[in-house]
Chain A
Amino acid sequence: MTDSTLPSKAPVASRDDESEGMSYLESLPRRVVTLYLPLFVILVVLLFPFYWMALTSIKPDEQLIDMNKFNPFWVVHPTFKHISKLLFETQYPRWLWNTMYVAVGATTLSIIASVLAAYAIVRLRFKGADTVGVLIFFAYLVPPSILFIPLASVIQAYGLFDSPLALILVYPTLLIPFSTWLLMGYFKTIPYELEECALIDGASRWQILTRIIVPLAIPGMISAFIFSFTLCWNEFIYALTFLQSTPNKTVPVAIVNEFVDGDIYKWGSLMAGALVGSLPLVILYAFFVEHYVSAMTGAVKE
């Protein structure tokens, strides 16, 4: 099931972005109509909500509600009022911190558990390793939407209700299956010979893992980390169910619950909140595009 990772990556690398293929056979007008125009339309649709989000967050209120005097697609006197209101008059920094804390905590726990599990499944070849691999794949397919009600009562029973710690403990169930599956693919590409040499030199399994496998699998672990971090940041239903008090909320939950009042002037701060909440992920993504894409496609291809 996972055996295609290696061979399938080779042709990609060899013909990467430089290959022209048969595209020289096409004339320019034809390319404009069949390629650039549709691509441009799709990109505009995909990016418009972000443009709109950013524009609204720096637009003064009177321009937001008067669409006849001011062209809504542009802003005349941009203001940072909404963003400063968000950062200094609400608990937004606190929510950002909660989100970050939960995401880093849950991701770290998951990566540690996944590295150990993936190593055991791929290299220790214990009895029933294949079955465990399949079970973990199934765990990946269990959605939060059918688990949040029983989990709420489990969390209540453990006395973790309304605590970010509950999320740190629950999110790994979303992340471990994915990361384990991804890391299994990476571990399979590491030659057995390295491990055999280490075993002959008297290394224990633990030493092999920490000194040989982990350093070689760093790119895979970065991919798993970035993707898991994004998933944590994005998670909504558990955070909505388990967290009650305002200061404990994460950004997505707080935005939906705390800003929504009847005020027609709410839009500026709402959009500023959405923008500021998205930026950390977009920046992280900009630095690790390759890792992110390989995590996403890797998990699907396996």
Chain B
Amino acid sequence: MTTFQTSVRVQPAGVDTPSLWARLRTNRNWVALWFMLPAAAFLILFLAYPLGLGVWMSFTDERIGRRGIFIGLENYQWLWDDSIFWLSVFNTLLYTIVASAIKFAIGLYLALLLNRHMPFKAMIRSIVLIPFIVPTVLSAIAFWWIYDSQFSIISWSLIKLGLIDHNINFLGDSSWARGSVIFANIWRGVPFVAITLLAGLQTVSPSLYEAATLDGATNWQRFRFITYPLLTPIIAVVMTFSVLFTFTDFQLIWALTRGGPVNATHLMATLSYQRGIISGRLGEGAAIATAMIPFLVAAIAISWFGMQRRKWQQGSNND
């Protein structure tokens, strides 16, 4: 305010020295502050603050309807001795590693297929993505019906083919249940991996393949020494996202098994929901959720490494 008055008094004409308001209006940092405000408000109120609050809650014994008091590491000590928690960690790692590896293999294979010349190319590519756009829960419901213990179409077909003699209890038996949810996850994740890798493949110049073929390279050599190195950066990013989303998956499991049978498919996210919201022990649920963070940080670090490497490959240093 004082500056404003001073400037007015010194320069009554106000032409050469703009007023504080005029200067503020053109000051990038000031304008940018207002431009950033809506996004920042959302992200701070509903993302950064809850993230911190979650870590804090994991050190309290908060329950639904009662504020918690600080109890230090008690929740974590409790979880450390809890075999169900360790089972959920094991399940989560198994689910993530198996599903991601298969998603990557099939996704890359599908991307290579889709990158070839064929009729109705554009249409086939759009159809491939449909499993990814349909809400997970709704397709999971379809899988639930496909995996039904009595009326499963898979059991029926296999019986008719004479391969088995009684219905498979897809979601009732531990190993079958794990396999079934992993299959449903792969089914949903493959289109994402395939289409994003396809976008990467399309940036590889065909002349490289032509040159390699002239030099006598085999199919495998062309893939190994041209496609793969050029695709590595995008593979790193896509797989980080894939691992991240698989690791924190909740809805597929919740729609199919809710963690059963006998906790065989409980992931950390579903266990956190069951303990935190259903049983009302918010502190313990928050501790399980917080225990996921180190894994996520590892995944992000890998992503960062992948992108740094890409920048280096392109030899650009802007931004």
Please report A residues at the B interface, Cβ cutoff 8 Å.
Answer: 1-4, 8, 11-12, 15, 17, 19-23, 35-36, 38-39, 42-43, 45-47, 49-50, 52-53, 56, 64-65, 67, 72-73, 109-110, 112-114, 116-117, 119-121, 124-127, 129-130, 132, 136, 138-139, 141-154, 169-170, 172-173, 176-177, 180, 204-205, 230, 233-234, 236-237, 240-241, 251-253, 255-256, 264, 267, 270-271, 273-275, 277-278, 281-282, 285-286, 289, 292-293, 296-297, 300-301
Contact = CB atoms under 8 A, between A and B. Distances in A.
Contacts of A275: 138
Contacts of B116: 21, 23, 35
A300 B234 contact: yes
Contacts of A274: 138-139, 141-142
A136 B36 CA distance: 11
Contact of A138 (B273, B300, B307): B300
B285 A149 contact: yes
A255 B138 contact: yes
Interface string B128-142: 111101111111011
Interface string B275-319: 011000010011001101100100110010001001100101011
B70 interface: no
A270 B141 contact: yes
Interface stretch (B2-10, B78-86, B93-101, B191-199): B191-199
Given A72-B153, A236-B251, A256-B255, 18 more contacts: A1-B319, A15-B206, A39-B113, A49-B146, A126-B28, A129-B32, A146-B296, A149-B272, A153-B282, A169-B42, A176-B43, A251-B138, A252-B135, A273-B138, A274-B141, A281-B134, A282-B133, A296-B129
Contacts of B199: 12, 293, 297, 300-301
Interface stretch (B12-20, B117-125, B174-182): B117-125
A20 B115 CA distance: 11
B133 A120 contact: no
Interface in B212-269: 213, 234, 237-238, 241, 244-245, 248-251, 254-255, 268-269
A153 B53 contact: yes
8 contacts: A42-B106, A117-B38, A145-B249, A145-B250, A150-B51, A176-B43, A282-B130, A296-B195
A302 B29 CA distance: 25
B277 A267 contact: no
Q: Which 4 A-B pairs have the closest CB atoms?
A: A126-B32, A120-B35, A297-B199, A143-B248
A234 B210 CA distance: 43
Nearest to B126: A289
A282 B131 CA distance: 10
B69 interface: no
Contacts of A1: 307, 311, 319
Contacts of B43: 136, 139, 173, 176-177
Contacts of B54: 146-147, 149-150
B248 A145 contact: yes
A110 to B, nearest CB: 8
B11 interface: no
A192 to B, nearest CB: 14
A12 B292 CA distance: 39
Given A113-B39, A120-B32, A151 B300 contact: no
B67 to A, nearest CB: 9
Nearest to A116: B35
Q: Is the interface of A mostly helix, strand, loop or mixed?
A: helix
B223 to A, nearest CB: 13
A126 B113 CA distance: 45
A302 to B, nearest CB: 9
Contact of A112 (B38, B106, B128, B142): B38
Contact of A2 (B51, B122, B128, B319): B319
Contacts of B293: 146
Contacts of B46: 151, 154, 169-170, 172-173
Contacts of A180: 39
B134 A154 contact: no
Contacts of A125: 28
A154 to B, nearest CB: 6
B203 A49 contact: no
Contacts of B296: 141-143, 146
A22 to B, nearest CB: 6
Nearest to A233: B135
Contacts of B248: 143-146
Given A15-B206, A113-B39, A172-B42, A285 B135 contact: no
A300 to B, nearest CB: 5
Contacts of B42: 109-110, 113, 169, 172-173, 176
A30 to B, nearest CB: 11
Given A153-B282, A296-B192, A282 B134 contact: yes
